[in-house]
Amino acid sequence: MTKSVDDLARGDQEGDDQDPVYREQQAFGDNPLEVRDTDHYTHEYVGGFVDKWDDLIDWKKRYESEGSFFIDQLRARGVKTVLDAATGTGFHSVRLLEEGFETVSADGSPQMLAKAFSNGLAYGGYILRVVNADWRWLNRDVHGEYDAIICLGNSFTHLFSERDRRKTLAEFYAMLKHDGVLIIDQRNYDSILDNGFSSKHTYYYAGEDVSAEPDYIDDGLARFKYTFPDKSEFFLNMYPLRKDYMRRLMREVGFQRIDTYGDFQETYGENEPDFYIHIAEKS
């Protein structure tokens, strides 16, 4: 029988300890809705989730749906060096290396970086330059200045306090060259917050293999449930960023021009974009 991670977090431990789901549990404790903490992401991206996610999100399909949007944006600005600040399992880092960008791959989760490194080898024999770094102390662990920093795949949403968001944006700003560009994407939380649970819809990744749906929403928490074909479930607790708030923060940290794009790729039967992409220029 498949157990949800919450069953496991509640201490229902009768399973086989060889089963990866039992070995690598997400830990949300007794009250998952109280987990609103920037530091918690390393407990959410555990091995079982990372492996399953990456097995099911077909990189080829992701390439096709994303097209050359990011590459075109970077090339149009003469970018040569890129810091992938939220490497995850390495999708964008590999894409950038393929396109000839000099790329450094950072992430705060060692498990993600391990997977990214092996993916780099598997998808084209690239040796990723990985750095384990939390964004809030990025300048301490990553060196150099970059033409561009990307933080993609709805990653910034893991920061739960405004102080952490400002600190992160300031760290990104400091690591960019004087005319550098920051690209951050985010889920369209405005639509979920404004239309409430009645509008709750399921997002499908890579066809219908993995579904993501809001499990709980308030102004300070968006808890999403990810369901896999074997019915196993994983959760992510995120902060529901509003689009205009995000744009304001970037402006206040010093970015001079911010363009926000809507991405319709993942939407099934809805008119609003599921994702926004902010492109923030330093000068």
Nearest to ligand SAM of 26, 154 (CB atom): 154
CB of 283 to ligand SAM, least distance (A): 26
Enumerate residues 20-79 that contact ligand SAM by CB under 6 A.
38, 41, 45
Q: CB under 6 A: which stretch of 88-96, 211-219, 256-264, 275-283 binds ligand SAM?
A: 88-96
Contacts of 276 (CB under 8 A, 6+ apart): 185, 186, 187, 188, 243, 246, 260, 261, 262, 263
Nearer to ligand SAM, 38 or 237 (CB): 38
- Sheet with 221-227: list strands edge to edge: 203-205, 210-218, 221-227, 233-238
Strands 210-218 and 203-205: antiparallel
**Binding residue for ligand SAM, selected from 48, 88, 240, 273, defined by CB under 6 A:** 88
What is d(CA 280, CA 258) in angstroms, rounded to the nearest whole number? Answer: 4
**Does the protein bind ligand SAM through residue 224 (CB under 6 A)?**
no
Enter the DSSP assignment of 157. Answer: G
At how many degrees (to 10) do helices 91-98 and 59-66 cross? 70
Question: Residue 19 region, left (φ>0) first, then alpha (ψ -120 to 50), else beta?
Answer: beta
Question: Applying CB under 6 A, which of residues 86, 183, 222, 279 lies at the interface with ligand SAM?
Answer: 86
**Cβ closest to ligand SAM, residue 3 vs residue 91:** 91
Q: Which residue in the set 73, 155, 188, 260 belongs to the binding site for ligand SAM (CB under 6 A)?
A: 155
Instruction: Kindly list the residues in this chain that would bind ligand SAM in the complex (CB under 6 A).
Output: 38, 41, 45, 86, 88-89, 91-92, 107-109, 112, 134-136, 152-155, 158
